[in-house]
Amino acid sequence: MALDEMWTFGGQRRRKVWLWRAVERASRRVVAWAGATRLRPGGLWWPLPKRYRRHCWYFTDLFPAYAQALPAGPHRSAPKAKAKPPSSKP
């Protein structure tokens, strides 16, 4: 499972809105997403279906807030380029 954040503007471009998403690495299917502040990615944990919360490894970039929001055992972080899911192209 790859977890990542992205931002856009909200409120007539007055504030940044962060979108957090969880992508199944093999199928590239988005299994959960949530809107949250930049410093609180924990809002992504509860929208994940239970089977993913219990039986998956979570790959993220090095953003420190992930370490606070995800269980330490199944969480792996790496620099942005290495944290991306592998390409499905041959």
77 has a pLDDT exceeding 70: yes
**Predicted confidence (pLDDT) per residue in 47-59, tens digit:** 888 888 888 887 8
Instruction: Look up the pTM and report it.
Output: 0.63
Distance between CA 58 and CA 3 in Å, rounded? 7
Tokens encoding 20: 């957090």
Helix (H, G, I), strand (E, B) or coil at 64: coil
| Lowest-confidence region among 18-22, 26-30, 58-62, 70-74 | 70-74
